[in-house]
Structure 1
């Protein structure tokens, strides 16, 4: 009989781990608490509109290609990918925006138009970012975070200073134009921390942005989840939905099974792609590695207030991805990281997938996703959600010079309480644990439990960190760790 592995959750990291483990010969079953798979990357379908509930940005296409190539497949075997042009636009005031197009040459022209001489500086900056990308994404992030020695390579020794400087310092040393600074600092928000707390080395995100570009899978990001589900099933993975996990069974210090909906499911190994903090609450206290104090001291990536809106007309003056940076970035960041509270004037992001994809909305209509980053753990009420929607939709109308309020067919919202209810997310965070210097690589929660044999973790709270590409990598890392130390019983 094959060794049995039970996996908690069906997000990107869990699905990736399931594929690698099934390929290695294990009998793998995924347990998902919700009705549909995908974790944070689920879909909302309503009145002919389709929204990605979670991630909407497809960056680092090479990571997806690398994942599928491990199974002799290509992304194009499962979904169609389109490079967006423009990638996104950024509003700074009424009818005042900068558009980031689909090639580095065009982006340099946009920078030069904004600040004379900036294109040369950008060339130099992105060259360094590309170098870091090649070191990080092709090498470093595929380490399991077991030892500090993983970070010490001939390439990283040359860049040691970049671990002790910050993105904010580096960007502002080269660029004086505040608008260009904001555009260059924006990608690190995907890592869940302020530019002033993110090591310079992470400027590889700027290469992901300007060098590789922004893509869209036809029919949305959920197509990637469906592709991974298809691959997993081809490899023999079993998937149970509406299978909430109530307990991890431990006998003599060894993981022996799960309790789901009152029933025991015995196994040899457990992998949890669910929230790390929540997973440890499924264990008796002596088996928990990290105390509540440990978690409260960590820097978590933001939560979000999201709105999914159906409009009865096509909208003007917006692109598929549009950022609204017309208010003070530092004040909003302070409300997320330094003194957690609802921001008075929030920055926000909007996505209109129907600008690219006819599948997102009925003909002549527009699907809109609006996101406000928030501190995790905030009080979340219907009244606050309503107030903040009014705030951003009024600003949206003013900045883009159009009336949209009376064209709203419906709106759904998703915030802190929903992240907790649907994903057992610690304090309702949306992206996991931030990648600050003291939360990088081996300093993050471990893939392998130190207190329970045969219990492993994957996903955004462990290595390598937040985001979709890192989640795919995390699934591979945990699978490698298991296959390295556990022989498959047949």
Structure 2
């Protein structure tokens, strides 16, 4: 039976869900509070520069392909991909760096040059990571997080010990070089927790990195948003921007409508791809499943201080993606998770999309994106933002041996207060809720409300977790759950 479904938000999970639900034959309308779609993956342009505002790493291309295949399409029908080589560079000091290339054999050689015997150890480690990837990404993450029994399969029983140990300890058993350890621990940071608090099973992220490689949509990550939007429109989805939801109407314990600008919009089903905690504040208290105390006790992935910078010249000695690990990795992690505060010496990430995409900046110029991970809920002010920009840009100049400060002709910052204002993000989190052992699968907030019929959720605070590929999967899972409920 055809239903009228209102979807709140237009991030990856909401867009994906809209496609699956439209495919099922329902009438779908997406309501986005901002003036453009994409959620955290929005894009903006200024002074001839183009900036992706959020996700910038394209990993797990198989998940994107699987999404489009569900509609008898291919990723290549909607956007072009380029494989980066090197995938990224990790700096440890002045002109002191390690390149991660686009194939495992080259990466093994790099490891061997740093630590004798580590090349073969890396092969063994990646073989294990691939095994976990095949179990997790091809099977487990496509389960709705309803029951712990979803995690119990003949294959996962054999890997039980990997849920009881952690990524950091496993890596340190095999590798001695602190540099190689940091490179191997880096991918799980996308899951939102310290490597020492992330179950070993999640080393499948290392296969996503070294095994599948780092890609870049030809003109930026917003190509993916545009591609899914095009698919959604082809399927009959309606998208409305500048539409901020004021309230979800519940009658007889059933979601029946949403209110936008004082106007009531009747809905058979309401699906929120917005921040989960914020969505529940749109309900009367009696209908909220998770209390403020619940959210306060969760382990959230970091917030971020972002800088979008336009330079009037080409930047040298840098790759498309670059990680600056020239300071204490563990201390910065402690400043995020253990004793939340602004880090004295922050690690940071720099991204120069114009190294790959000539349309991202005017001729002879460069588009730069800088990110410092921060504790969620941290104090945010313009003075602090400027202080930290000065810290990282000074280090950038020293490490890459060039002057660039006087070549900045555009700069915009984005931090905790903006994540709250633009995305209603709890504590200004950037990546959702961390995938720790006690926040995995059925232990995460549910896709379906326990108190309100016909109210559903999708996105990085629910199943399967943070990241763009998991967001696409979340959209599929909730659409399947809705279809199943309608059949019963």
TM, length-normalised to structure 1: 0.99
* Cα displacement (A) at 1:143: 0.2
In the other structure, the counterpart of 1:257 is: 257
Partner residue in 2 for 1:299? 299
Q: How does 1:3-402 map to 2 (within 5 A)?
A: 3-402=3-402
- Pair 1:468 & 2:454 matched: no
Listed one character per residue, the Cα deviations across residues 296-334 of structure 1 (whole Å, up to 9, x for unaligned) are 000000000000000011011110000000000111001
**Aligned position for 1:425:** 425
- How many angstroms apart in 1 are the aligned matches of 2:56 and 2:201? 25
Q: For residues 294 and 429 of structure 1, what CA distance do their matches in structure 2 show?
A: 16
Q: Deviations over 1:363-389 (max 9, x none)?
A: 100000000000000110000000000
> Deviation digits for residues 87-135 of structure 1, max 9, x if unmatched?
0000001000000000001000100111110001000000000000000
1:487 to partner: Cα distance: 4.3
Q: Distance in 2 between matches of 1:27 and 1:72?
A: 20
Distance 2:67 2:264 in 1: 32
Q: Check whether the contact 2:43–2:51 (CA below 8 A) recurs between aligned residues.
A: yes
Retained in 1: the 8 A contact 2:278–2:426?
yes
- Residue of structure 2 in register with 1:404 after alignment: 404
Kept in 1: contact 2:47–2:410 (CA 8 A): no
Q: Alpha-carbon deviations, 1:198-256, whole Å to 9, x = none?
A: 00000000000000000000110001000111100100001110000000000010000
Partners of 1:292 and 1:107 in 2: CA distance? 45
Cα distance between partner residues in 1 of 2:449 and 2:283:
11
Residues of 2 paired with 1:334 and 1:264: CA distance?
46
Distance 1:333 1:485 in 2: 42
C-alpha distance in 2, partners of 1:485/1:143? Answer: 15
CA distance in 2, matches of 1:145, 1:195: 23
Runs of 4+ in 1 over 2 A off after TM superposition: none
Tell me whether 1:477 sits opposite 2:477 in the alignment: yes
Q: CA deviation at 1:262?
A: 1.0
Aligned position for 1:444: 444
Give the whole-Å Cα distance in 2 for the aligned partners of 1:150 and 1:162.
Answer: 17
Residue 432 of structure 1 deviates from its aligned partner by 0.1
Q: CA deviation at 1:287?
A: 0.2
Deviation string for 1:29-60 (max 9, x for gaps)?
Answer: 00000000000000120111101000000000
Once the two structures are TM-superposed, the CA of residue 261 in structure 1 deviates from its matched residue by 1.2
Alpha-carbon distance between aligned partners in 2 of 1:458 and 1:241, rounded to the nearest angstrom: 19
Distance 2:270 2:261 in 1: 17
For 2:227 and 2:343, the matched residues in 1 are separated by 38
Provide the aligned length of Structure 1 versus Structure 2.
488
Contact 2:32/2:243 (8 A) holds in 1: yes
| TM superposition shift of 1:2 | 3.1
Deviations 1:10-37 (A, max 9, x none): 0000000000000001100000000000
Distance across 1 between alignment mates of 2:405 and 2:29:
46
Q: Secondary structure at the match of 2:10?
A: coil
Q: Give the drift of 1:3.
A: 1.1
In 2, distance between residues paired with 1:486 and 1:27?
Answer: 14
Find the aligned partners of 2:408 and 2:267 in 1 and give their Cα distance.
50
Name the SS for the 1:138 alignment partner.
coil
1:403-458 CA-partner distances (Å, limit 9, x unpaired): 00011111100000000000000000000000000000000000000000000000
Question: Any idea what SS the aligned residue of 1:82 has?
Answer: strand
Unaligned runs of 5+ in 2: none
SS in 1 for 2:137: helix
Q: TM-score, with normalisation over the residues of structure 2?
A: 0.99
Alpha-carbon distance in structure 1 between the residues aligned to 2:465 and 2:357 = 30
Q: Separation in 1 of the partners of 2:230 and 2:261?
A: 26
Task: Return the alpha-carbon distance in structure 2 between the equivalents of residues 261 and 425 of structure 1.
Answer: 21
**CA contact under 8 A between 2:302 and 2:376: conserved in structure 1?**
yes
Unaligned runs of 5+ in 1: none
How far apart are 1:176 and its partner, in Å? 0.4
Question: Within 2, Cα distance between the matches of 1:182 and 1:263?
Answer: 52
Taking the aligned partners of 1:429 and 1:421, their CA distance within structure 2 comes to: 12
Distance 1:72 1:374 in 2: 41
